């Protein structure tokens, strides 16, 4: 748990730009600036809980500035994905499957997933570090009795 806390606390502010393109040619290209920072990360082994404060900014507007927490015993899985992958999922869900994004610099997301509609995100510039933090979190989930128990 200390490893998880140290790695998530050490991320600092992650600033990146999404260059968007509509492959269907129905709209023009556009650029979106993002910033995210997680602070006050506490990985509590006794409670099997991770808490933190998140601040997200999109094009100079704060979209999140709040405290969050989740129980490791309730998580089903943890994955690491490129930020573009989540943007594609959101665009498709919102009815825009032709929209693609390129992130600069590359950003990787650690996604802690409780269920299909409940996820927590942590942003990394270093994919290897994201994978190491995810592996530690999976171990924490196992120790806390969480995880996907389905045999299929």
Q: Which pLDDT belongs to residue 136?
A: 95
pLDDT band at 24 (very low <50, low <70, confident <90, very high): confident
Cβ atoms of 146 and 118 closer than 8 Å: no
Q: How far apart are CA 8 and CA 33, in angstroms?
A: 22
**pTM score of the predicted model:** 0.86
Give the distance from CA 109 to its chain's centroid: 4
The answer to whether the beta carbons of residues 84 and 99 sit under 8 Å apart is no
Distance CA 55, CA 34 (A): 11
CB 41 within 8 A of CB 64: no
Rounded Cα distance, 122 and 37, in Å: 9
**Is pLDDT at 151 greater than 50 in this prediction?**
no
In this prediction, residues 11-18 reach a mean pLDDT of: 95
8 Å CB contact between 58 and 37: no
């Amino acid at each position: 748990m200390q490893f998880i806390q140290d790695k998530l606390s050490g991320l600092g502010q992650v600033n990146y730009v999404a260059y968007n393109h509509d492959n269907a040619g129905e709209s023009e290209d556009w650029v979106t600036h993002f910033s995210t920072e997680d602070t006050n990360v506490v990985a509590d082994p006794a409670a099997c809980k991770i808490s933190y404060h998140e601040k997200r900014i999109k094009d100079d507007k704060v979209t999140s500035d709040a405290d969050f927490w989740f129980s490791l015993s309730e998580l089903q899985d943890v994955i690491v994905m490129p930020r573009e992958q989540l943007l594609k999922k959101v665009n498709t869900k919102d009815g825009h499957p032709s929209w693609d994004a390129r992130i600069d610099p590359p950003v990787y997301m650690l996604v802690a997933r409780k269920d299909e509609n409940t996820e927590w995100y942590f942003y990394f510039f270093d994919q290897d570090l994201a994978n190491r933090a995810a592996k530690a979190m999976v171990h924490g989930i196992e120790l806390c009795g969480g995880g996907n128990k389905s045999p299929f």
